[in-house]
Amino acid sequence: MFEAILLTVITASTPLVIAALGELVSERSGVLNLGVEGMMIMGAVAAFATAQLTGSPYLGILGGIIGGGLFSLLFGFLTLTLVANQVATGLALTILGLGLSGQIGEAFVGMPGVRLQPIVIPLLSDIPFFGRVLFSQDLIFYMSVALVFGISWFLFKSRTGLKMRAIGDNHGSAHALGINVVRTRYLAVLFGGACAGLAGAQLSLVYTPQWVENMSAGRGWIALALVVFASWRPLRVLAGGYLFGAVGIGQLHAQLLAQSGGIAIPSQLLSALPYVATIVVLIIISHNRRTTLINTPASLGKPFVPDR
Amino acid sequence: MRIELQKRAGTSTLFSIVSPLLALALTLVAGAIMFWLLGKSPMNALYIYFVEPLLDVWSLHELAVKAAPLILIAVGLSICFRSNNWNIGAEGQFTVGAITGSILPVLNPEWHSPVILPLMLVMGMMGGALYAGIPALLKTRFNTNEILTSLMLVYIAQLFLDWLVRGPWRDPQGYNFPQTKSFQPEAVLPEILDSGRAHLGIVFALVAAVALWFMMRFMLKGFQVSVLGQSERAGRFAGFSATKMVWFSMLLSGGLAGLAGISEVAGSIGHVQPVISPGYGFTAIIVAFLGRLNPLGIIASGFVLALTYLGGEAAQLSLSISDKVSRVFQGLILFFVLSCDTLIHYRIRFVSTPSAEAEAKN
């Protein structure tokens, strides 16, 4: 029983972790992309469509990454080249993504999906308990773990990561030092979009292998909250992602329990828990102004026009 | 080739007017391409989508019915956005306004008095304002990001409404439909003309837009909104309080969204049901930007976005295209508006070889 719950928690947490990691990189470079929800749903529909048409869930993953990535370039062009307001453009990306994915997905409604099968790692998967939980997972889970440590290393140990953080903290100084601010930010936004697309692919290939309109159900927004929660640190995204995932799964189990036990807890109350939890967590994290100020990339959301 | 931006000395008056029109034109072009991709004749589809709804009296009424909540919410949001407060949870405030405004008719269906309607409107407004007060409180007291909190509250409000109409508020004689009893006639917002469904909501919207335009143009409060929005620091030197502005803008926009909510329920629906809005709260964000955050501009843009809803319904019927097309149109409009707005502040130049240009300058 416990193992089964843990497995569902992992499945529910993985998309949150991946999308939040992508957004973290984008925000570390100083770009606030509120379009995570839109990029995620575009990734989900692209992944589902690719998997349906080719029959391969792995090409589906690729489709999701490309779908989310291409969609994020639209955001990049507006905010980085045309210096449009990042908050408004992010909202536009979400609105357009939800509409466009509904339009594209129309043809796929009700089709049985192609499920991504787990990859059982020999030997390691034989470890009692942990083996089955951690080493008999699908490719996207392994990718999420690799991303956490990869991004951690990239941001804090590599030269390019240092430059990216410098841009995020003060784009004027970084520009004066000869770092190409706009190009780096394009790459960061693209990476964020690809991650959101991958997270979307997880939704339509693993979590519920089918296409349902609006199937991201606010997860993109929760991922955004997760970045704040994690104070822009990858390892904390991992921890936070699992906390949020556990709340989501916990309320599902509570609903089942209440039903079987005949206890009248309104299902709506339990469904609202993840959103309430997000607000509570944001309050706890943000209430100390000073630490928030230190952790937030100083150029976050500010427009940058290179002076020549 | 590369795009380079050159800051204008001031804002371009020409482009402030041209940019929304250019954005609409680009949206039409993109829409034509989309229809062509869907295998429809682009011109015919655009005609059905954007022209036909304007030809009947009844559909003009529908246009006013749909424009009313959009304008009401968007003028409130424009004050928020101008003052740099990002309330994106208007959909939730709309929902709560509809709920609190409906308390009287749902609980006292036999109360036939002319005071019920004004009371409902006031309670709806207060409900929306209080609900927007939550992110305001969290922002001023706990420094919490209002974008995320106001959005999370949308989901919570919708679930609460769902619970209400399936549980305590459900009409026992409603053949198991999850909805309340129809409101008594005294609790229904009157229609303004005999020829169709347009109700007082559109009047509220126009009054609110003109009042807020007056405030922004001629009153100190409007000046505070602009100054604090452009530079909080400058505002503080002038003695304006950013905290008070958070409260003012959030309560105002929440109150107007709440009024829109109760007007929608008491005007066009006549009872409370699980879904009362086709995303008005989010579409209003687009309306606010297309109107360039100017209350008078928002009146025009509100009708444009209302047309996308109507056109979506028409296209569904006569072209058998799904109504999701209207969401795509709405997203496209916002994208083109934001891109075209760049022209107001910047001159755009296309540079052929970046390196040669850089060398020439050195």
Per residue in B231-272, pLDDT tens?
888 998 989 999 999 999 999 999 999 999 999 999 888 899
3-class state of residue B347 by DSSP: strand
Query: What CATH number did the domain enclosing A168 receive?
Result: 1.10.3470
A105 within domain boundaries: yes
Residue B349 parent element (H or E):
strand B346-351
| Assigned token pair, A103 | 């339009």
* Mean pLDDT over the full length of chain A: 89
Query: Residue A279's domain spans which residues?
Result: 2-295
Say whether A84 and B142 touch across the interface (CB within 8 A).
Answer: no
Rounded alpha-carbon distances, angstroms, from residue A189 to A69, B152, B336, B347: 8, 24, 20, 25
- Say if residues A86 and A106 touch (Cβ distance below 8 Å): no
Question: B109 — phi, psi (to 5°)?
Answer: -65, -15
A144 within domain boundaries: yes
- Say if residues A115 and A56 touch (Cβ distance below 8 Å): no
**Residue B355: what pLDDT?**
53
- Say if residues B93 and B261 touch (Cβ distance below 8 Å): yes
| Assigned token pair, A3 | 């193992």
**pLDDT for A225-254, tens place per residue?**
999 889 899 999 999 999 988 888 888 888
- Say if residues B302 and B201 touch (Cβ distance below 8 Å): no
A59 within domain boundaries: yes
- Say if residues A116 and A205 touch (Cβ distance below 8 Å): yes
Closest residue in B to A277 (Cα) is B152
Say whether A106 and B322 touch across the interface (CB within 8 A).
Answer: yes
Q: How far apart are CA B197 and CA A4, in angstroms?
A: 55
CB count within 10 Å of CB A257 equals 11
Q: How far apart are CA A237 and CA A108, in angstroms?
A: 33
**Residue B125: what pLDDT?**
96
Q: How far apart are CA A228 and CA B144, in angstroms?
A: 10
**Angstroms from A298 CA to nearest CA on chain B:** 15
A305 within domain boundaries: no
Minimum-distance CB partner of B167 among A34, A106, A266: A266
Question: B347 — phi, psi (to 5°)?
Answer: -95, 135
How much is the average pLDDT of B47-66?
89
Contact A44/B at CB under 8 A: no
The angle at the Cα of A242, spanning A237 to A245, to the nearest 5 degrees, equals: 120
Q: How far apart are CA B299 and CA B74, in angstroms?
A: 9
| Count of domains observed in chain A | 1
pLDDT band at residue A5 using 50, 70 and 90 as cut-offs: confident
- Give, rounded to a whole angstrom, the gap between the first and last alpha carbons of chain A: 63
| Assigned token pair, B248 | 């003012």
pLDDT band at residue A257 using 50, 70 and 90 as cut-offs: confident
pLDDT band at residue A198 using 50, 70 and 90 as cut-offs: very high
Q: Which of A140, A112, A129 is nearest to A210 (CA)?
A: A112
Say whether B159 and A271 touch across the interface (CB within 8 A).
Answer: yes
Q: Where are the alpha helices (DSSP H) in chain A?
A: 2-28, 36-54, 57-76, 86-105, 130-135, 139-157, 159-169, 171-176, 181-202, 219-229, 234-261, 267-271, 273-286, 289-295
Among residues 201-260 of chain A, which lie with CB inside 8 Å of chain B? 213, 218, 221, 224-225, 228
Contact A100/B at CB under 8 A: yes
Q: How far apart are CA B77 and CA B290, in angstroms?
A: 12
Q: Which of A305, A28, A298 is nearest to A175 (CA)?
A: A305
Closest residue in B to A264 (Cα) is B167
With a pLDDT cut of 90, the percent of chain A lying above it is 53
**Residue B354: what pLDDT?**
53
Q: DSSP characters for B245-283? A: HHHHHHHHHHHHHHHHHHHHIIIIISS--S---SSHHHH
Q: Which residues make beta-bridge pairs with B347?
A: B6
B2-7 and B346-351 beta bridge pairing = antiparallel
Say whether A99 and B324 touch across the interface (CB within 8 A).
Answer: yes
**pLDDT for A30-62, tens place per residue?**
999 999 999 999 999 999 999 999 989 999 999
One-letter identity of residue A126: D
Contact B289/A at CB under 8 A: yes
A304 within domain boundaries: no
Say whether A99 and B167 touch across the interface (CB within 8 A).
Answer: no
A237 within domain boundaries: yes
Say whether B163 and A279 touch across the interface (CB within 8 A).
Answer: no
- Say if residues B210 and B71 touch (Cβ distance below 8 Å): no
A199 within domain boundaries: yes
**Residue B177: what pLDDT?**
83
Report chain B residues whose CB lies below 8 A from the CB of A266. 163, 167
Angle, in degrees to the nearest 10, between helices A219-229 and A181-202: 130
Tell whether the model's pLDDT for residue A191 goes beyond 90. Answer: yes
Q: Which of B87, B47, B73, B14 is nearest to B279 (CA)?
A: B73
- Give, rounded to a whole angstrom, the gap between the first and last alpha carbons of chain B: 20
Report chain A residues whose CB lies below 8 A from the CB of B339. 78, 82, 84
Distance of CA A224 to the CA centre of its chain: 8
Closest residue in A to B338 (Cα) is A84
Q: How far apart are CA A227 and CA B6, in angstroms?
A: 34
Contact A296/B at CB under 8 A: no
Report chain A residues whose CB lies below 8 A from the CB of B159. 268-269, 271-272
**Residue A40: what pLDDT?**
96
Closest residue in A to B362 (Cα) is A308
CB count within 10 Å of CB A175 equals 17
Say whether A103 and B285 touch across the interface (CB within 8 A).
Answer: no
Closest residue in B to A88 (Cα) is B338
The residue behind tokens 């019927």 is: B317
Rounded alpha-carbon distances, angstroms, from residue B31 to B45, B66, B280: 9, 21, 21
- Say if residues A72 and A33 touch (Cβ distance below 8 Å): yes
**pLDDT for B67-111, tens place per residue?**
999 999 999 999 999 999 999 999 999 999 999 999 999 998 888
Closest residue in B to A100 (Cα) is B328
How much is the average pLDDT of A259-263?
76
How much is the average pLDDT of A206-219?
89
Say whether A287 and B358 touch across the interface (CB within 8 A).
Answer: no
- How is residue A212 annotated by DSSP? -
pLDDT band at residue B360 using 50, 70 and 90 as cut-offs: very low
| Assigned token pair, A251 | 């309320």
**pLDDT for A148-161, tens place per residue?**
999 999 999 999 99
- Say if residues B302 and B71 touch (Cβ distance below 8 Å): yes
Say whether A279 and B149 touch across the interface (CB within 8 A).
Answer: yes
**Angstroms from A122 CA to nearest CA on chain B:** 43
Among residues 129-188 of chain A, which lie with CB inside 8 Å of chain B? none
**pLDDT for B6-18, tens place per residue?**
888 777 788 888 8
pLDDT band at residue B174 using 50, 70 and 90 as cut-offs: confident
Contact A39/B at CB under 8 A: no
Tell whether the model's pLDDT for residue A106 goes beyond 90. Answer: no
A300 within domain boundaries: no
**Residue B327: what pLDDT?**
84
Minimum-distance CB partner of A278 among B152, B159, B331: B152
Report chain B residues whose CB lies below 8 A from the CB of A82. 3, 5, 338-339, 342
Among residues 35-94 of chain B, which lie with CB inside 8 Å of chain A? 81, 86, 88
Minimum-distance CB partner of A100 among B145, B282, B328: B328
- Say if residues B265 and B271 touch (Cβ distance below 8 Å): yes
Q: How far apart are CA B312 and CA B322, in angstroms?
A: 8
How much is the average pLDDT of B20-25?
89
Q: Which of A282, A291, A304, A307 is the best residue to mutate to test the B interface, defined by the most B CB atoms within 10 Å of its own CB?
A: A282
Q: How far apart are CA A123 and CA A142, in angstroms?
A: 16
Segment among A117-131, A179-193, B20-34, B194-208 with least mean pLDDT: A117-131
CB count within 10 Å of CB B264 equals 26
| Assigned token pair, B89 | 């949870």
